[in-house]
Amino acid sequence: MKPAVLALADGTIFQGQALGFEGETVGEVVFNTAMTGYQEILTDPSYKGQIVLMTSTQIGNYGVTPEDDESHRVWAEGFIVREAAKYRSNWRSRQSFEDYLIEHRIVAIQGIDTRALTCHVRDHGSQMGIISHGDFEINALRKKAKAVPSLVGRDLVREVTCPDAYEWTERSVVMDPASGDPSIFTQNTAQPPLKLVVMDFGVKQNILRSLVDLGCRVRVVPASTTAEEVRRLNPDGIVLSNGPGDPEGVPYAVETVKQLLGWKPLLGICLGHQILGLSLGLHTHKLTFGHHGANHPVMDLRTRKIEITSQNHNFAVDLPHKEGACPTLTSQQFDSCVGRMEITHRSVNDGCCEGMAGLESPILSIQYHPEASPGPHDSSYVFRQFLGMMKGRG
């Protein structure tokens, strides 16, 4: 196998074997603790600007299936694994993992001590890195990695949002392993269908499918869409989608949301949750190594129930008061321009704000991904809760 090198901005070097498309790539190195879902991770627009390290020891053993893509392309800048499976075994598989990386021109590395790298990122924080399949001059690679600009303050949303508005009509599909035939997943739908505008900051397709499953008519609009343009569409509700990078890097989106507060029900997801927090007057901060994975415990402070959630973010909404920033699982309320708000969810691991709700205004937001299924359905109630809010029941 051809050699490859990973160099971090702090000078740390890992040597391994080349994987995927031959070349060189740079990005912020983050680790993901999910054991499956590598295809969904690669195609999640929230990973724009990042090189993803998988902590699970073997990746690619069930191959790749086109239906599992979360967008129209791969967005991750690079991939790091302990071992890429040579053989794939799954009745849905259509392509090998490495062929998929090559097709999408993703530079990757395998054969390094991913446990040591994960511990390093955990202890020293996410940082810029470079994977090279050709340049093995260590000092030159260190300089390149150190010179890569930080993601703080950068507007990555403009690079992943849709260029034009469009209607989304596709529902979720379940596959029958006995026949291999797809069938449409259905739930109780809204009659007549409720109209939704989804602001695309890097939306995952499963979010859109989940909204259609509930009977909503979904129109996706670019991140630069103004509040006036949204008002002209006259939706029953507005969804602020997930997306990559620093919420403070998209001030135009924050201003749009400010102008929409209190007008129609709002649901913020991941980056949308952070943008909503800024529009309400809160602040955000960069986490040391972020939350990336399918096994993050979150407590709903209203019910005291723990949800196993899927997460992907390096920034978080600050809690309203500094004295509440310790990882105690307590609820907090704060005043905003649209009345009282409540912190509804917090991370069990570090106490981060994971959800908010309006007590006097139809606002709902969560830091994690309710369309993902790690629980497997711990968080699906969020969409139903929002549907009830649009119907005037909550």
Count, in order, helices (H) and strands (E) of the chain: 10, 22
Sign, Cα dihedral of 374, 376, 379, 380:
positive
Q: Is 243 annotated as a binding residue?
A: yes
Structure tokens at 355: 């959800």
Active site residue 162: no
Q: How far apart are CA 28 and CA 149, in angstroms?
A: 9
Q: Is 315 known to sit in a ligand binding site?
A: yes
Confirm whether 270 is a catalytic residue. Answer: yes
- To the question of whether residue 310 is assigned a binding role by annotation, the answer is no
Q: Please tell me the distance from the alpha carbon of residue 157 to that of residue 148, in angstroms, as a whole number.
A: 19
Q: 352 is written with which tokens?
A: 């981060």
Does 61 belong to an annotated binding site?
no
Set 270, 292, 307, 353: catalytic member:
270
Q: Which residue has the tokens 């390094």?
A: 112
How far is the C-alpha of 122 from the C-alpha of 261, rounded, in Å? Answer: 37
Q: Are 158 and 251 in contact (CB under 8 A)?
A: no
The reply to whether 349 sits in an annotated binding site is no
Residue 253 in contact with residue 242, Cβ under 8 Å? no
User: Residue 192: is the preceding peptide bond cis (ω within 30°)?
Assistant: yes
Which of 163, 153, 169 is CA-nearest to residue 209? 169
Active site residue 371: yes
Q: Is 136 annotated as a binding residue?
A: no
Q: Is 97 annotated as a binding residue?
A: no
Active site residues: 270, 369, 371
Annotated binding site for L-glutamine: 46, 243, 245, 271, 274, 312, 315
Annotated binding site: 46, 243, 245, 271, 274, 312, 315
